[in-house]
Amino acid sequence: MANTSVPKYPYPANLNVANFVSLKLSSTNYLLWETQVLSLIESQDLLGFVTGDTIPPYTEITDANNTNIIPNPDLAAWTRTDRLVKAWITATIFEEALGVVVGLKTSHDVWSALQNAFSQGSQARELELLLKLQEKKKDSTPLSDYIKDFKAICDQLNAIGKPLSDDKKVFWLLNTLGPRYVFGYEFTQTHY
């Protein structure tokens, strides 16, 4: 009869991270990147490694007779799986973020350092993007390009977890377009 037991610390080494995580972490896409990486890690039942819930086992245990202290064989399996999860994370970040995690030992340490470095910046990034919206003015750029740029800023706000409501998007867009376009908007709203 074959042993069909589930390993205590799975090791899905044949998994290609690039098939699951299309983004590399940068200073502007933390929440999108986090969503993809967590989905991968959760799908492999390894979330406890990054949250810290799956703690390393003791380095030594007593033998079956309770007479000798021996190295814990589970520690090697835990370390191997943790290093794999750490490798998945570090393989999906740009060089600018690698400096944050150099020298860190566990996937939990790496995950926590990236959270601290990148999620904290979302408030500053939100203000930066809102300022871009406020200062944006329609110049000789074609309207379609102007709207694409405007949408890109709104998408970046959404990516950091600070989406604008549709009403605010309309307000900001009309405010930055100027009176020539506002009149057209009012006309279409009242006549259609």
State pLDDT tens for residues 56-110.
999 998 888 888 999 999 999 999 999 999 999 999 999 888 999 999 999 999 9
Note whether 70 and 158 are same-domain residues: no
The reply to whether 32 falls in a domain is: yes
Note if the pTM is more than 0.75. Answer: no
Q: What kind and span of H or E run contains 176?
A: helix 166-177
Spacing of C-alpha 94 from chain mean position = 12
Note whether 101 and 166 are same-domain residues: no
- How many other β-carbons are positioned within 10 Å of the β-carbon of residue 130? 16
Note whether 39 and 102 are same-domain residues: yes
Note whether 96 and 176 are same-domain residues: no
* Sequence letter at residue 158: N
The reply to whether 10 falls in a domain is: no
Distance of alpha carbon 91 from alpha carbon 85, whole angstroms = 10
CB 123 within 8 A of CB 101: no
The reply to whether 179 falls in a domain is: yes
Domain carrying residue 37 = 20-119
**Total of domains in the chain:** 2
